């Protein structure tokens, strides 16, 4: 008995692509073996049951969540510096590129400029503690982030969300809002549990960002997205208090758990 | 036609047009969500996986090779994100607490269908993830063996043999759940 042929015919029967002559052959196999007969019947039954599994509509929040994540500064043509460097290294070893040296050189120049800009920006701003931020380059472990929690905000003319993500090494707190009046977001954390690595935010000249040991404050009007990258110091849950005020009114005041054990 | 429109939306997305990417999300979110849901079972987790898949697509759009079909690439990313998610979540626990167990006084064709669907989904979750993926793509998404082979990056022959094994295992699982008895 040609098992491979039998399976092929049963597959075709299930798929609805079996030819009349092939069906005759399959029926001959079935009449000659109860095992083949049962296999054909079982597999057809399974296919029939699986057809009962309905396609469901996705949650109405899915698209909004995706679009929030792909905010303008994250457009495909924008690449964070670490990715430019990584791409340069990958391209360097691709024989099809004729620009390996150009990429490596430009990557090195960009890295130098970024480091210079970082130190230049830190040195003149007394409200930014250089010990809290270790540059704007995010390690590749940040790619394996698990989604944590999401809190929506919809009050006082402000709509948006606060979301958390976690990996073993990194916790990310993202605040996204659209406000018609000045909004102040204040974040306080325990430097013994979390190390602030970097802040990524939408470019808006009206923003005012202040960072000092254990405290982060961002104020501005309009559409804002900023993500704070924390390094997890220990495996335990680290609470972070997030308050959002608009015109002196408290719109959001929650203590959120970060860290690899938080969900 | 649909392929051309996908390419046009991709081109516009790469030029910074987020709305164009939003239209791609509109077009494929139901498909992506359902693949994720049948792989991870939980609705909230499926939404997370679907979101991750679209964001990953967006991030990698620049390196998408147009000689391949966009939807195959999208499927591949979705399945990979689901597999990564399941790996991080460790072993799946049998989903007993939401299954009613004894049917009790269920009445109506709709309730029977829902129960069947629930048991089939529970059965799917007892399959190994590799087998689950081929069953989901073949039976629930209706893809061809060639398309599945491209998505999972395995030979077509492997798809067929994996599917054969998956169906055999699933048959026994569903029998244990009281489904598929021959009359």
A20 touches chain B (CB under 8 A): no
> pLDDT-derived band of residue B92, with 50, 70 and 90 as boundaries?
very low
Which residue among B18, B22, B170 places its CB closest to the CB of A46? Answer: B170
pLDDT at res. A133:
40
Interface contact flag, A7 B164, Cβ < 8 Å: yes
Which residue among A56, A59, A146 places its CB closest to the CB of B34? Answer: A56
Query: Which one of A70, A176, A202 would you mutate to disrupt binding with B, by most B Cβ within 10 Å of its Cβ?
Result: A70
| pLDDT at A125 > cutoff 50 | no
Write out the DSSP string of A50-119.
HHTSPP-PPPTHHHHHHHHHT-GGG-TT---HHHHHHHHHHHHT-TT-S-HHHHHHHHHHHHHHHHHHHH
| pLDDT at A93 > cutoff 70 | no
Mark A109-125 as b/e (b = at least 16 C-beta within 10 Å): eebeebeeebeeeeeee
A31-72: per-residue pLDDT in tens?
A: 989 989 988 998 988 998 898 888 899 999 999 999 998 876
What average pLDDT does the segment B65-92 reach? 85
Query: Which one of A5, A39, A46, A68 would you mutate to disrupt binding with B, by most B Cβ within 10 Å of its Cβ?
Result: A46
By percentage, how much of chain B surpasses pLDDT 90? 52
Contacts of A56 in chain B (CB under 8 A): 33-34, 37
Contacts of A66 in chain B (CB under 8 A): 25, 29, 51, 54-55, 58
pLDDT at res. A201:
67
Find the range with the poorest average confidence among A58-62, B59-63, B64-68, B132-136.
B64-68
Interface contact flag, B88 A144, Cβ < 8 Å: yes
Contacts of B42 in chain A (CB under 8 A): none
B80 half-sphere exposure, CB direction, 13 A CA radius = 15
pLDDT at res. A239:
84
A59 touches chain B (CB under 8 A): yes
A61 touches chain B (CB under 8 A): yes
Which residue among B16, B51, B88 places its CB closest to the CB of A66? Answer: B51
Alpha-carbon distance A249 to nearest alpha carbon in chain B (angstroms): 32
A96 touches chain B (CB under 8 A): no
Interface contact flag, B139 A7, Cβ < 8 Å: no
What average pLDDT does the segment B152-166 reach? 91
pLDDT at res. A231:
81
A76 touches chain B (CB under 8 A): yes
pLDDT at res. B147:
93
pLDDT at res. B79:
95
What Cα–Cα distance (Å) separates residue B165 from each residue in A52, B42, B171?
Answer: 21, 25, 10
Output the average pLDDT for chain B: 84
Distance between CA atoms of A87 and A82, rounded to whole angstroms? 9
CB contact at 8 A, A219 and A253: no
> pLDDT-derived band of residue A2, with 50, 70 and 90 as boundaries?
confident
Q: How many CB pairs under 8 A join A and B?
A: 111
Q: Which of B3, B111, B124 is CA-nearest to residue B66?
A: B3
Interface contact flag, B139 A50, Cβ < 8 Å: yes
Angle between helices B156-176 and A34-51 (to 10 degrees): 90
Alpha-carbon distance B114 to nearest alpha carbon in chain A (angstroms): 9
Alpha-carbon distance A166 to nearest alpha carbon in chain B (angstroms): 12
Interface contact flag, B117 A50, Cβ < 8 Å: no
Of chain B residues 93-112, which have a CB less than 8 A from chain A? none
Of residues A153 and A105, more confidently modeled: A153
A248 touches chain B (CB under 8 A): no
B125-148: per-residue pLDDT in tens?
A: 999 999 999 999 999 999 999 999
Dihedral of the CA atoms B14, B17, B21, B22 (nearest 10)?
170
Of residues A209 and A143, more confidently modeled: A209
pLDDT at res. B44:
92
| pLDDT at B95 > cutoff 70 | no
Distance between CA atoms of A104 and A92, rounded to whole angstroms? 7
A69: nearest CA partner in chain B: B55
What average pLDDT does the segment A239-262 reach? 81
B20 touches chain A (CB under 8 A): no
pLDDT at res. A261:
66
Which residue among B30, B121, B180 places its CB closest to the CB of A46? Answer: B180
> pLDDT-derived band of residue B99, with 50, 70 and 90 as boundaries?
very low
A210-226: per-residue pLDDT in tens?
A: 777 788 887 776 777 77
Interface contact flag, B51 A65, Cβ < 8 Å: yes
CB contact at 8 A, B33 and B61: no
Place of tokens 């996204």: A176
| pLDDT at A251 > cutoff 90 | no
Find the range with the poorest average confidence among B25-34, B62-71, B146-155.
B62-71
The two tokens of residue B111 are 């309730």
């Amino acid at each position: 008995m040609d098992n491979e042929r039998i399976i092929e015919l049963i597959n075709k029967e299930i798929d609805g692509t079996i030819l009349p002559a092939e069906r005759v052959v399959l029926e001959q196999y079935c009449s000659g073996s109860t095992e083949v007969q049962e296999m054909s019947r079982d597999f057809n039954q399974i296919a029939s049951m699986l057809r009962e599994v309905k396609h469901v509509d996705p949650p109405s929040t899915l698209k909004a969540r995706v679009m929030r994540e792909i905010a303008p500064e994250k457009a495909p043509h924008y690449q964070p510096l670490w990715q430019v460097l990584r791409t340069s290294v990958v391209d360097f070893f691709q024989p099809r590129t004729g620009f390996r040296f150009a990429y490596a050189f430009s990557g090195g120049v960009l890295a130098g400029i970024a480091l210079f800009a970082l130190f230049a920006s830190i040195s003149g701003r007394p409200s930014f503690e250089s010990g809290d931020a270790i540059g704007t380059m995010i390690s590749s472990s940040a790619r394996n982030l698990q989604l944590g929690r999401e809190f929506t905000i919809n009050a006082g003319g402000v709509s948006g969300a606060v979301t958390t993500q976690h990996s073993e090494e990194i916790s990310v707190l993202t605040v996204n809002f659209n406000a018609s009046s000045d909004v102040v977001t204040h974040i306080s954390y325990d430097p013994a549990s979390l190390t602030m690595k970097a802040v990524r935010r939408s470019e808006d000249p009206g923003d005012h960002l202040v960072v000092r040991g254990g405290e982060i404050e961002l104020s501005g009007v309009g559409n804002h997205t900023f993500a704070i990258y924390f390094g997890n110091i220990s495996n335990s849950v680290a609470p972070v208090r997030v308050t959002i005020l608009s015109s002196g009114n408290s719109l959001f005041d929650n203590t959120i758990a970060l860290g690899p054990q938080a969900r | 036609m649909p392929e051309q429109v996908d390419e046009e939306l991709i081109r516009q997305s790469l030029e910074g047009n987020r709305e164009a990417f939003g239209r791609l999300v509109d077009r494929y979110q139901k498909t992506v969500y359902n693949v994720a849901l049948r792989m991870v079972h939980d609705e909230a987790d499926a939404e997370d996986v679907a979101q991750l898949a679209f964001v990953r697509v967006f991030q990698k759009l620049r390196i998408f090779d147009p000689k391949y079909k966009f939807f195959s690439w999208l499927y591949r990313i979705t399945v990979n994100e689901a597999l990564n998610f399941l790996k991080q979540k460790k072993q799946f626990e049998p989903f007993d607490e939401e299954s009613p167990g004894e049917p009790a006084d269920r009445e109506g064709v709709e309730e029977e269908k829902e129960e069947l669907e629930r048991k089939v989904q529970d059965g799917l979750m007892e399959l190994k993830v590799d087998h689950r993926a081929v069953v989901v793509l073949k039976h629930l998404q209706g893809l061809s063996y060639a398309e599945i082979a491209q998505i999972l990056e395995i030979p077509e022959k492997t798809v067929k043999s994996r599917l054969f094994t998956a169906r055999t295992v699933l048959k026994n699982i569903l029998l244990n759940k009281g489904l598929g008895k021959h009359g």
